[in-house]
Structure 1
Amino acid sequence: MNTRILNSLLLLLIVITGCTGTKKLPEGSLLYTGATIKIENTTPRKQKKALKTALTPLLRPKPNTTFLGWRPKLFFYNLAGEPTKQKGLRYWLRNKVGEPPILYSRVDLNYNQKIILNYVQNNGYFNAKVVADSSRSGKKATATYSLNPGKQYVIQQIKYPEDSSAVANAIRHTIPTSLLKIGQGYSLDAFKQERERIDSHLKEKGFYYFNAEYLKMEVDSTVAEHRVNLTIKIKPEITDIAQKQYQINQIMVYPNYRLNKDTIPDPESALQYKDFTIIGSKNQFKPRIFDRALYFHKGDLYNRTNHNLSLNRLVNLGTFKFVKNQFKVADTTANFLDVYYYLTPLPKKSIQAVISAKTNSANYTGTELNINWSNRNLFKGAELLNLSAFGGLEVQVSGQNKGFNVYRLGTEANLIWPRIIAPFPFKSASGFVPKTKATLGYEYQNRTQLYSLQTLKGSFGYLWKENQRKEHLLNVTEITYASPQNVTNLYRQQIAIDPSLAKVTEKQLIFGPTYSYTYTNTMLQNKKHTYYYKASLDLSANLTGWLSWANMQKGDTVEIFKVPFSQFIKIENEFRHYLKLSSKTQIASKILVGAGYAYGNSDQMPFIKQFFNGGSNSIRAFRARSIGPGSFNGNATSGNFLPDQSGDLKLEFSTEYRAKIYKLVHGALFLDAGNIWLLRETPEKPGAKFSKGFLKELAVGVGAGLRFDFSFLILRTDLAFPIRKPYLPEGARWQLDQISFGDKNWRKENLVFNLAIGYPF
């Protein structure tokens, strides 16, 4: 690293560490810098760590936020000074970006002492003692809480209700799955969770009117030293209906219920279908959709699982705006419930126009107009037909192809059935309705100064979710026919330099099954670690290729309708990990590995199925699709147009520190690395083939960015630069000692600005 960079970093460090925020404190005030919890050394290490982790967030107030010893919000608060009016930059900087100093005078040692004592006693440390103190250093003050928790009380015995009632008997059957164990530490929260667990179990066994408040936990701490006996009892005030198990009697469905009406449809309009009574609008919906959606049948024992699954499936049909249900004790039969489903349909037909901003992997940014027409109940079985037409413009704000704009026009039709249409039975116990989807689309794309492309696509497949986290998509067949036109002389000149580009302007026929599996728990926002994983498999013309193997062995290219079909296998895996550091910060990481292999009727992968690197959603320090393959330098070409570089193999890694700066403004620091490679030697691309030294050919970039979260979209700006260039000679690829922000030529060559919609991952 050169001396100029080192001096700049040292100066920045001095400035940051010098901004302690104490210079502008009121006279006689102290800046509160936080609290320390000291726990008696005799406490087991595991318990000590757990107590510190739980107690620290409970202390109040919270000190000013710090970063590397710097208090940025307090810095901006002091920098702004006292504003003269209730608006303007100074007011915004002081009151919105900044925060006032947290003074030690706000600290209530006795209050925090009681909070700590209350928590540890609720967790079985009945003999705990807490001493609060404070210390001062210059204009700063800290608080110290010394905790001697003593020995934790543990459970010695657990007793459950012993009478012969149905509810007591059901509770005893839950013992094997109890959250409480002999020898477990006393915990008030654990006792509450045990009550909820028992209640959930009883709901699965027909006790519809039972709830956790009918249970009480009696604790006897006098039985032995640091031991408690726990007795779970049913409260005497439990109602009669809460002690009964209920079965399902009548199932009434109102498929055209209106919320603004005081009356429900006349029962005379009822239609009996199997165990269901459908009232009103006999011809609006086919009865079988309710048979598929509702899990209850007459005579079933009530359970919460089927209750929730039925509601989820009705919602997931996508046909009803509101879904409500009600259970009532049957008038005619004891211990039976009548079930009522009140369904308010969405408008059957609708039309919508949407103007959207968009970005893609090639670093193109643009706008698109979509007009969509929908029919939500096409064949009266909750089928969804969607017809759309679109047109748009995409431009590269920055990149090697700035000025080579893309114009798109097209139309697409989608038909979705809320069931699996197949010659085999398919049953799902999920609350998500399995679906069959057929798609047909056409697109005309004009890449100005290069060529135009007509693409016809069609697919037929299935989509189903095991649960909220796991999703499967199987396209039994997916067909793509591409026909390039109007190839310009500029592009032909580029073909002369790189013959592989000729594949882009050849007719292509791709067909075969595709499959993808997705797992995610990112919807669990309270978890520290969340994950996303997607695996996909693309098989093109494998069966057709096998049937045509004899002709291929002769060296013949097999054609369908005078177009050679593509034959390949493509596999892709993407894994993401999100580490939540606080309510405002997280570290997000991604690793992507992909491979494609062309064989039989194809000597290389179709261009549209190959892998690319670089750009706003990839390695942001390099221009879109400019990296590789391997150590090949795709930028060293003549002419104004720089072609996209593609490969058969891909490895990509990114990690990003994300932090909320102010309301809708978020910041990020990131590192990206990766490359693409070819499986076969290509004379015009030396160094492109994958080899055992592939790690030496990784491109690496770093940068920073801002994200503006407008709720309806996230606008992202990233500024990045490379620190490792794979196309340079070995030994000269790392660029750390070349960084020079003050050099205009360095900035022009290395700084890459990315404007995009949404997060990169």
Structure 2
Amino acid sequence: MGTRLIVYALLALFLTAGCSNTKHLAEGELLYLGASVEVDDKNMPKKQRKALQKELENLTRPIPNKKILGLRPKLYFYNLAGEPKKEKGFRHWLRNKVGEPPVTFGKVDLKYNTDVLQSYAENKGYFQAFVTSDSTRNGKKATAEYIIKPGPQWKIKNVIFPSDSTSELEKAVTQTLGRRGRRGLLKPGEPYDLDVIKAERERIDARLKEKGYYFFNPEYLKVQVDSTVGKYEVDLLVKVKDDTPQNAREVYKINDIYIYQNYSINEAENKIATKDSVMQYKDLTIIDTTDSFNPRIYDRTLYFHKGDIYNRTDHNLSLNRLVNLGTFKFVKNQFKVSNQFTNMLDAYYYLTPLPKKSIRVEVLGKTNSANYTGSELNVNWSNRNTFKGAELLTVSVFGGLEVQVSGQNKGYNVYRVGGEVNLFWPRIIAPIKVESASGFVPRTKAMLGYEYQKRIKLYALNTFRGSFGYQFKENVRKEHQLNLLEVTYVSPANVTELYQRQADTVLALQRVIDKQLIFGPTYSYTYTNTMRKRLRNTYYFKGLLEESAIVTGLATGANIRRGDTISVLNVPFSQFVKAEVDFRHYLRFGDNTQLASRVIVGAGIPFGNSRDLPFIKQFFSGGTNSIRAFRARSIGPGTFKAEVDENAFLPDESGDLKFEFSTELRQKLVSVIHGALFLDAGNVWLMNDNPDKPGGKFSGNWLKELAVGTGAGLRIDISLLVLRLDLAFPLRKPYLAESDRWVLDQINFGSRSWRKENLVFNLAIGYPF
């Protein structure tokens, strides 16, 4: 009976929404439902025919009202709101922000769309294409139909570039094909395509820019089509137009380089250069009345030198690096023909500095993997030109409060205060000179930090950190970070009797408050192309490798298993190797639908002076950014489950190995509200047997020990902030007997006891990945 009611309700919703979308139309108006295109050619392969049909349908205009599950919710809300009496308020917002007005058939121009489709088909090589159009009315709705008979698609027989020419420019055009003549985009045997021809002209222009043809542009090239060379075949002849101006035919070199390093975008505010304000540094002429910057920063930033042949790569790299210094608000560049020499360019760089010193106050909402949500106050002071070499010095202090909204640790709030000092040099400081051909300036970074963390009713930790290393981006997608030395020292304070009693019996709790000393190099590599929004598939990859005290351990002969533990400053140093990989894949189904997936694999191996990984370097699973159907840091290790009184705080379960997989279908629902369906799986394991945690060691049965959960959520995405609400429940519990771990048959949303035990609500800020 309940199922019938749901079906009837959904049917009523569909009928109501459908009727309401047409009853508000004026007399004689028809709701436009969209266009269909039929490709009438039985000789064309089915896959090619469908692809052409989709391309043509996307060209028709106007675009009908958006549909979701067969409904047009935006149009429904537009009609539901009615005509608002004021230009603000809920009705105005619902009609104009959430809703959209009806797209009527009166806006359809069949002749215009027919011409567009005809032209597109011809541009794709269907020179004998013929398009007809018609429309169909059904009540107060109408559609447009187009039928295209494309005929045969013409193919390229030969691509002919200039040969035996006395013109240096035409020789250069031919040389853009490379030694083997394979670099061109136009290929014999491929279909004729006007878009490819345009792309080939742009490719040739880009290559010529690398050879000094500064004033050349794609419009000076023409591609002639000879359709008499064979049946349904064409020859393409690439030529330089006769009316190409002389300056576009010349190779230009760099002459003088001028840098205005304190330039105002308001030209009236710029002071006239005097003899005292002009400085010569190598090939550079620097104009600055304030002597703000050491000229060595330009020697490392600019790729051009006097006498170099102009090329677009060095042009763009120089601009990118000037911007990437983070010191200048505006960077402007001009090239002018020299008054002294022919075929020479004077380069001008106009740089507008940012304020040297600034202070910023931030109030943040935050969440972490332990299900703690809270706020933080940050005060940041910056000096962008500390030693006149574009060095960046930042000093920050912070304080925050984190509370667990749900879970057994509710009430054990966390207070954090601390500070950090960072100094960035816009170069690699090393005994050997390191050159970079990237548009991003490599940086050397030194950091000192301190944090005091107080966990109410439990303990406090003092954490001191320091590091020295390098940050380097190959390009916008690839980034390297190498810390030659990273030091962390953790010291406990104010350990309560409540915590110490449990720590005396649970070794994992004792490790949290043990003194820790970690020092060694770390390296991470990040690759991402997620900024390319138009790609169907995008990726994110981050690999991390870190080690602690390997050399020190070898030098001292430290071996905890023999009882030879070595201390530094009365603290046994940690010795381990740890690696972690985070891979994400984003599959875009449309502008508003995406499937996001993530795999995390990590392993840490303690040895020498350590029996276990230090607590802050161990792996955890479960929580708002992990497996959302389980409490934060509660999963594992392996099949182990801690038996803790329901009134006591829960220990964080950790491991030396980690595997997690998550996939999430994301769909924009309306305005700033997005929905998601997700599935998470994973666990952590120990490298060695631990009698206190039976079942925690990694084995060949690890796949059978995965925790699995699923759920649904909402995301309120207002760009500056994403508020995430997820409701999840477990499908598989690894700590149960092997035959009982799948719990799908126990799912019962109507049972209060099941909901209390299994439903987990996650309130978080930001997407999980």
Kept in 1, the 8 Å contact 2:558–2:566? The answer is no
697, 713, 722: which one aligns with 1:689: 697
| Residue 235 (structure 2) pairs with residue 234 (structure 1) | no
Cα distance change of structure 1 residues 103 and 376 upon mapping to structure 2, 3 Å threshold: closer
Cα distance change of structure 1 residues 15 and 326 upon mapping to structure 2, 3 Å threshold: same
Cα distance change of structure 1 residues 730 and 458 upon mapping to structure 2, 3 Å threshold: same
Kept in 1, the 8 Å contact 2:277–2:288? The answer is yes
| Residue 155 (structure 2) pairs with residue 149 (structure 1) | no
Q: Secondary structure at the match of 1:150?
A: coil
CA distance in 1, matches of 2:609, 2:6: 57
Query: Which amino acid letter does the alignment assign opposite residue 476 of structure 2?
Result: Q
CA distance in 2, matches of 1:552, 1:667: 51
CA distance in 1, matches of 2:263, 2:101: 55
Aligned residue runs from structure 1 range 406-555, under 5 A: 406-549=414-557, 552=560, 554-555=562-563
Kept in 2, the 8 Å contact 1:400–1:624? The answer is no
Kept in 1, the 8 Å contact 2:582–2:598? The answer is yes
Deviation at 1:91, TM superposition (A): 5.2
Kept in 2, the 8 Å contact 1:613–1:674? The answer is yes
State the TM-score, normalizing by the size of structure 2: 0.93
Kept in 1, the 8 Å contact 2:558–2:565? The answer is no
Cα distance change of structure 1 residues 699 and 483 upon mapping to structure 2, 3 Å threshold: same
| Residue 127 (structure 2) pairs with residue 126 (structure 1) | yes
Kept in 1, the 8 Å contact 2:414–2:455? The answer is yes
Cα distance change of structure 1 residues 7 and 615 upon mapping to structure 2, 3 Å threshold: farther
CA distance in 2, matches of 1:328, 1:359: 53
CA distance in 2, matches of 1:750, 1:244: 75
| Residue 244 (structure 2) pairs with residue 247 (structure 1) | no
365, 377, 397: which one aligns with 1:369: 377
Kept in 1, the 8 Å contact 2:401–2:414? The answer is yes
Kept in 2, the 8 Å contact 1:35–1:144? The answer is yes
Q: Secondary structure at the match of 1:686?
A: coil
Q: Secondary structure at the match of 2:173?
A: helix
Deviation at 1:90, TM superposition (A): 5.2
Return 5+ residue gaps in structure 1 as ranges. Answer: none
- Give a deviation string over 1:533-586, Cα, whole Å, max 9, x none: 000001111111112226556322111111011111111001111112212221
CA distance in 2, matches of 1:566, 1:18: 68
Deviation at 1:28, TM superposition (A): 8.1
CA distance in 2, matches of 1:165, 1:399: 78
CA distance in 1, matches of 2:712, 2:16: 23
Q: Secondary structure at the match of 1:350?
A: strand
Kept in 2, the 8 Å contact 1:22–1:31? The answer is no
Aligned residue runs from structure 1 range 614-629, under 5 A: 614-629=622-637
Kept in 1, the 8 Å contact 2:263–2:270? The answer is no
Aligned residue runs from structure 1 range 265-304, under 5 A: 265-281=273-289, 283-304=291-312
Kept in 2, the 8 Å contact 1:157–1:230? The answer is yes
| Residue 166 (structure 2) pairs with residue 164 (structure 1) | yes
| Residue 681 (structure 2) pairs with residue 673 (structure 1) | yes
Deviation at 1:87, TM superposition (A): 5.6
Query: Which amino acid letter does the alignment assign opposite residue 426 of structure 1?
Result: V
Cα distance change of structure 1 residues 8 and 623 upon mapping to structure 2, 3 Å threshold: farther
Cα distance change of structure 1 residues 697 and 82 upon mapping to structure 2, 3 Å threshold: farther
160, 164, 187: which one aligns with 1:181: 187
Kept in 1, the 8 Å contact 2:559–2:608? The answer is no
Kept in 1, the 8 Å contact 2:358–2:383? The answer is yes
Q: Secondary structure at the match of 1:238?
A: coil
Structure 1 match to 2:360: 352
Structure 1 match to 2:335: 327
Deviation at 1:443, TM superposition (A): 0.7
Instruction: Pick which of 524-533 and 155-164 moved more.
Output: 155-164
Query: Which amino acid letter does the alignment assign opposite residue 52 of structure 1?
Result: Q
Kept in 1, the 8 Å contact 2:20–2:76? The answer is no
Instruction: Pick which of 493-502 and 377-386 moved more.
Output: 493-502
- Give a deviation string over 1:229-248, Cα, whole Å, max 9, x none: 22223223322211111111
Instruction: Pick which of 552-561 and 650-659 moved more.
Output: 552-561
Deviation at 1:53, TM superposition (A): 3.4
CA distance in 1, matches of 2:175, 2:762: 60
CA distance in 1, matches of 2:568, 2:299: 44
Structure 1 match to 2:37: 37
Kept in 1, the 8 Å contact 2:558–2:609? The answer is no
Query: Which amino acid letter does the alignment assign opposite residue 145 of structure 1?
Result: Y
Query: Which amino acid letter does the alignment assign opposite residue 519 of structure 2?
Result: F
Quote the RMSD (CA, aligned, Å).
2.5
Cα distance change of structure 1 residues 610 and 50 upon mapping to structure 2, 3 Å threshold: same
| Residue 715 (structure 2) pairs with residue 718 (structure 1) | no
Kept in 1, the 8 Å contact 2:680–2:710? The answer is yes
- Give a deviation string over 1:103-144, Cα, whole Å, max 9, x none: 556554444333222211111101112343455678765544
Deviation at 1:633, TM superposition (A): 2.2
Cα distance change of structure 1 residues 134 and 740 upon mapping to structure 2, 3 Å threshold: farther
State the TM-score, normalizing by the size of structure 1: 0.94
Deviation at 1:726, TM superposition (A): 2.0
Deviation at 1:19, TM superposition (A): 6.0
Query: Which amino acid letter does the alignment assign opposite residue 579 of structure 1?
Result: L
Deviation at 1:621, TM superposition (A): 1.9
Kept in 2, the 8 Å contact 1:621–1:701? The answer is yes
Deviation at 1:740, TM superposition (A): 2.9
Deviation at 1:752, TM superposition (A): 2.0
Structure 1 match to 2:53: 52
CA distance in 2, matches of 1:30, 1:735: 53
CA distance in 2, matches of 1:494, 1:600: 28
CA distance in 1, matches of 2:558, 2:578: 24
| Residue 205 (structure 2) pairs with residue 196 (structure 1) | no
Identity %: 60
Q: Secondary structure at the match of 1:185?
A: coil
Kept in 2, the 8 Å contact 1:653–1:673? The answer is yes
CA distance in 2, matches of 1:498, 1:584: 48
Query: Which amino acid letter does the alignment assign opposite residue 202 of structure 1?
Result: L
Cα distance change of structure 1 residues 342 and 104 upon mapping to structure 2, 3 Å threshold: closer
CA distance in 2, matches of 1:573, 1:626: 21
Instruction: Pick which of 78-87 and 422-431 moved more.
Output: 78-87
- Give a deviation string over 1:78-114, Cα, whole Å, max 9, x none: 6656767766555544554344555556554444333
Kept in 2, the 8 Å contact 1:365–1:397? The answer is yes
Kept in 1, the 8 Å contact 2:629–2:711? The answer is yes
CA distance in 2, matches of 1:309, 1:270: 25
- Give a deviation string over 1:719-753, Cα, whole Å, max 9, x none: 22222222222333333333333333333222222
- How many residues get paired? 758
Cα distance change of structure 1 residues 209 and 413 upon mapping to structure 2, 3 Å threshold: same
209, 213, 216: which one aligns with 1:210: 216
Kept in 2, the 8 Å contact 1:16–1:70? The answer is no
Q: Secondary structure at the match of 1:527?
A: coil
Query: Which amino acid letter does the alignment assign opposite residue 38 of structure 1?
Result: E
Q: Secondary structure at the match of 2:739?
A: coil
Instruction: Pick which of 485-494 and 246-255 moved more.
Output: 485-494
Deviation at 1:208, TM superposition (A): 0.8
CA distance in 1, matches of 2:409, 2:384: 42
Deviation at 1:220, TM superposition (A): 2.5
